[in-house]
Amino acid sequence: MFESQNVAHADAELISRAQAGENEAFGELYERYVALIYRYVLARVDAESDAEDITEVVFLRTFKALHRYIERGRPFSAFLYQVARNALVDHYRQQRKTESIEAAEKLPSLAPDPDESLIAKERAVVLRRALAELPADYQEVIRLRIMLALPTTIVGEWLGRSEGAVRVLLHRALKTLRRQLVGSI
């Protein structure tokens, strides 16, 4: 999805049509990016139902903001990412009011298959906890580059950093995560 300049041109055309009131064009943009945004949101909220709700909010907000959107050489996905981040901030704020800390720390069922090893599930819990202990930008680069396997170029576009900065950030993030894990054993 990310390598081709054609994608950017196709996006620009869809955005332009959507801005002109063609809802089907927005539907196409949704289909292109819903999985990406949903998976990013799910990486941050754990619960599928929350991820679904927030993803829907992201696209609704995007539509509302679309008339102000001006293509500036940044991929459209970077715009969606920013909307998703804002929606997540709102979600966390809301969650603080309604959930106890225990509930917020409740971990998702990562291995629905009962045959899947308990060790793997526990390891995932340990990893997730260690990840949560990292500084926000370390967490984010691991989510984007490792968990979602996005190309460094795109991660740079999303985070507003150069590719070199992303590479160094990731290197440091992994080293810190490793130290956290070694320390937790």
Partner 1 sequence: MSKRERRQSKILDGCLDSILTGEVTVGESLREFPGDVQELTPLLTLALETRESLEPDYPKPSFVAASIRRILSRISARQQQSRRPRAGIRPSWRWKPAQVFISLMLAIGILAISTGVVQAANASLPGDALYGLKRGLERARLAVSWSASGDMRLLAEFASTRLAELEALLAANRLGDLDLALDGFEDALFGLTGLAGGAATGLDPGSTEFILERLAHHQEVLARVREQVPEQAQPAIDHAMERSLHSQEVIQLLHMGGDPSDLAPGQTRTPPGLELTPPGQERTPPGQARKGTPTPTPTPTPEPPIPTPTEEPTIHVKDIDAYITGGRSNQQVRVTISIAMGSGGNVDGATVTGSWTVSGSDAQFSCITTGSGKCTIRSGKLPGEDQTTFTITSVTHPAYSYVPADNSDPDGDSNGTVITIELPE
Residues 130-169 that bind partner 1 (CB under 8 A): 131, 134-138, 142, 145-149, 151-152, 157, 159-169
Query: Counting contacts by CB under 8 A, is residue 115 touching partner 1?
Result: no
Please report how close the Cβ of residue 105 comes to partner 1 at its closest, in angstroms: 13
Measured distance CA(183)–CA(185) in Å, rounded: 6
Query: Counting contacts by CB under 8 A, is residue 84 touching partner 1?
Result: no
Q: Which is nearer to partner 1, 21 or 114 (CB)?
A: 21
92, 95, 104, 117: which one binds partner 1 (CB under 8 A)? 92
Query: Counting contacts by CB under 8 A, is residue 77 touching partner 1?
Result: no
47, 89, 104, 132: which one binds partner 1 (CB under 8 A)? 89
Rounded (5°) CA angle 80-82-167: 100
Tokens linked to 57: 């909010």
3, 20, 97, 118: which one binds partner 1 (CB under 8 A)? 97
Query: Counting contacts by CB under 8 A, is residue 129 touching partner 1?
Result: no
8 Å CB contact between 25 and 17: yes
Measured distance CA(128)–CA(104) in Å, rounded: 13
Measured distance CA(170)–CA(136) in Å, rounded: 12
Q: Which helix (H) or strand (E) holds 89?
A: helix 76-98
**Of residues 22-41, those binding partner 1 (CB under 8 A):** 23, 26-27, 30-31, 34-35, 38-40
Classify each residue of 97-109 as buried b or exposed e, where b means 16 or more C-beta atoms within 10 Å of its C-beta.
eeeeeeeeeeebe
Please report how close the Cβ of residue 1 comes to partner 1 at its closest, in angstroms: 14
